[in-house]
């Protein structure tokens, strides 16, 4: 089921944000046919390459003309194509937007790059850390002494995959109205910059300092930070609103007079030191017993291995197990078109025969492709 049931997606295999975007579409019920090399494109054994869950895998050699012809035939019945090569690569293969839209004028052609299809750095190699560095995001994240990479969540997955998925679905809706396809140029630097929209607004209003640990939500405020507990673990506190801050003061046993000037930035460092002393007097579990479930805006800082066991996550089914591998489940949730649980990530070529057949290839065409070495 799922809200994207019936939508056909050709994914030209890559790494990172491209596969994650296609996974999001597959999670929502789209039929994603992943075109990859016989050796695969992932970093791990296929069953652990979770961004490929819910897809079907077809091995096609894009260096052979028969392989290119096969992909163009798939394009004819596709709603979406996604690719993550450097600018110009798909054009040199004969699979660029012009060639694909000539075969299918309604196609939504999704492109994922770091710096975009145009600009001085368009063809330069990079990674998440570079893209978020140039967007202003990395400078704002971390301790006062240095920026800290927030994993590769902001560039690859937030600014890249999510924006591409949003762009693809938006273009697909427009295609239903106009009958015409188009290219979606999603770049990690653009997406990461977009994620910083609120902060740029705060800066323009004079409410954001251009340094780390000096602002409301970057660890500068004593009421929005993480704190070490007596057992060496951590808790998170986000008591921004006055009523929530009052609950923090009450439940932590803080002196109301000392902590009264909540928004006096000059006192934030001293108040943070005092609050840190108090939090260190109890274990994480002890603070959970006191504050969890209240309006303090409190949560324990859980590891990746602890998070699936938290009662709230268990109650909602936030994490699921597929083929013995624990992983986050599809999001968001739908009241009517509830997606099925994703299938396990396939080994490369697991669905070459059946996938091509389902997409309109005859048995003879499949046999010829395999005989030529263009499919496996």
Q: Residue 11: which of 101, 125, 108 has the closest Cα?
A: 108
Cα(95)–Cα(204) distance, integer angstroms: 43
Task: Give the CA distances from residue 90 to residues 48, 81, 85, 87, in Å, rounded to whole numbers and listed in that order.
Answer: 28, 12, 7, 8
Q: Is 82 exposed, middle or buried (0-12, 13-18, 19+ CB in 10 A)?
A: buried
Cα(305)–Cα(85) distance, integer angstroms: 34
Sign of the C-alpha dihedral computed for residues 329, 137, 12 and 104 taken in this order: positive
**Residues 25 and 165: beta-carbon distance below 8 Å:** yes
Select which of 127, 139, 234, 310 is catalytic. Answer: 127
Cα(18)–Cα(307) distance, integer angstroms: 26
Q: Residue 374: which of 7, 37, 27 has the closest Cα?
A: 37
- Tokens 């710096």 locate to 115
| Coil vs helix vs strand at 360 | coil
Cα(147)–Cα(139) distance, integer angstroms: 6
Determine whether 156 is an active site residue: yes
Cα(70)–Cα(124) distance, integer angstroms: 30
Select which of 128, 156, 185, 218 is catalytic. Answer: 156
| Coil vs helix vs strand at 149 | coil
Cα(94)–Cα(228) distance, integer angstroms: 56
Cα(31)–Cα(194) distance, integer angstroms: 29
End-to-end CA separation in angstroms for the chain: 29
Half-sphere exposure at residue 66, Cβ-oriented, CA atoms within 13 angstroms: 15
Q: For residue 322, what are its two tokens?
A: 């597929």
Q: Which residues pair with residue 183 across a beta bridge?
A: 109
**Where do the H-state alpha helices sit in 6-76?**
17-27, 65-76
Q: Which residues are known catalytic residues?
A: 127, 156
């Amino acid at each position: 089921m799922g809200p994207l049931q019936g939508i056909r997606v050709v994914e030209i295999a890559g790494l990172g944000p491209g596969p994650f975007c296609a996974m999001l579409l597959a999670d929502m019920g789209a039929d994603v046919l992943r075109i990859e090399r016989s050796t695969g494109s992932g970093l791990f054994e296929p069953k652990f390459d979770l961004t490929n869950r819910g897809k079907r895998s077809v091995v096609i050699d894009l260096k052979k003309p028969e392989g290119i012809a096969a992909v163009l035939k798939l394009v004819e019945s596709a709603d979406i194509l996604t690719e993550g090569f450097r600018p110009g690569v798909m054009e040199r293969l004969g699979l660029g937007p012009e060639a694909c839209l000539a075969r299918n004028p309604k196609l939504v052609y999704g492109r994922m790059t770091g710096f975009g299809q145009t600009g001085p750095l368009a063809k330069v190699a990079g990674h998440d850390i570079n893209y978020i560095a140039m967007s202003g995001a990395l400078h704002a994240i971390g301790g006062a002494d240095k920026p800290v990479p927030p994993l590769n969540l902001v560039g690859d997955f937030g600014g890249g995959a999510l924006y591409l998925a949003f762009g693809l679905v938006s273009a697909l809706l427009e295609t239903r109205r106009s009958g015409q396809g188009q290219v979606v140029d999603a770049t990690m630097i653009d997406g990461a910059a977009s994620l910083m929209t609120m902060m740029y607004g705060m800066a323009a209003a004079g409410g954001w300092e251009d340094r780390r640990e000096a602002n409301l939500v970057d660890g500068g405020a004593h009421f929005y930070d993480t704190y070490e507990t007596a057992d060496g673990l951590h808790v998170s506190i986000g008591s921004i609103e006055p009523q929530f801050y009052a609950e923090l003061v009450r439940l932590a046993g803080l002196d109301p007079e000392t902590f009264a000037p909540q928004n006096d930035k000059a006192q934030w460092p001293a108040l943070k030191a005092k609050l840190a002393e108090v939090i260190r007097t109890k274990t994480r579990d002890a603070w959970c017993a006191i504050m969890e479930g209240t309006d303090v805006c409190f949560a324990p800082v859980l590891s990746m291995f602890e998070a699936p066991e938290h009662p709230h996550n268990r109650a909602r089914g936030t994490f699921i197990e597929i083929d013995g591998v624990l992983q986050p489940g599809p999001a968001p949730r739908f009241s009517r078109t509830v997606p099925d649980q994703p299938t396990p990530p396939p080994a490369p070529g697991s669905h070459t025969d059946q996938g091509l057949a389902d997409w309109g290839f005859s048995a003879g065409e499949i046999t010829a492709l395999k005989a030529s070495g263009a499919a496996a």
